[in-house]
Amino acid sequence: MPGKVNPVVAEAMRQVCAQVIGNDATVAFAGSQGDFELNVMLPVMGRNLLESIRLLAAASRLFADRLVAGLVADAEVCLAYAEGSPSIVTPLNRYLGYDEAASIAKEALAKQTSIREVVISRGHVDSGKLTETQLDETLDLLRMTHP
């Protein structure tokens, strides 16, 4: 497939994680096999723990250098996703009621538009159900991230 890019770095990290999970299971089982303050399984525990540390250290460096470094979020796309998320409609319940807010969320999803655009297109601001300021405050995404 021309132009296809395989996510080999992410796939390698997943393989390392699978191995580390297996090593952890081995360490947990070996730890349960001790008798009378003596555990003959200490060597396998140490080996698996050290292998996990080496694998995670190497894979983390590779992941950071080859995948994370230089990665930049597209702020416009992220904002569009946030503004179109049906979850941000909840604060509108007090102005428009639950049923209308739910209907707005469904329409925004169906039309792939923002909640704000649907509220305005339905005439809620023009009819005085809420003011432009109230709409701005209610749909303030950054404010929603704080308790």
Please write the tens of the pLDDT for every residue from 78-116: 988 888 788 889 999 999 999 999 999 999 989 988 899
The residue whose two tokens read 């070996």 is 30
pTM of the model: 0.58
C-alpha to C-alpha distance for 80 and 51, rounded to whole angstroms: 43
DSSP, residue by residue, 116-138? HHHHHHTTTTTTTSS-HHHHHHH
Please write the tens of the pLDDT for every residue from 6-63: 789 999 999 999 999 999 999 999 999 988 888 899 999 999 999 999 999 999 999 9
Q: Which two tokens stand for residue 143?
A: 């404010």
Which spans in the chain are helix H? 8-31, 42-63, 75-84, 93-96, 98-111, 115-121, 132-138, 141-144
pLDDT of residue 20: 98
Give CA separation, 72 vs 69, 75, 77, 78, 104, in Å.
Answer: 9, 9, 12, 11, 32
Termini Cα distance of the chain: 48
Bigger pLDDT: 48 or 146? 48
Confidence of residue 146 (pLDDT cuts 50, 70, 90): confident
| Contact of 31 with 85, CB cutoff 8 Å | no
6 contact partners, CB below 8 Å, separation of at least 6: none
pLDDT of residue 147: 78
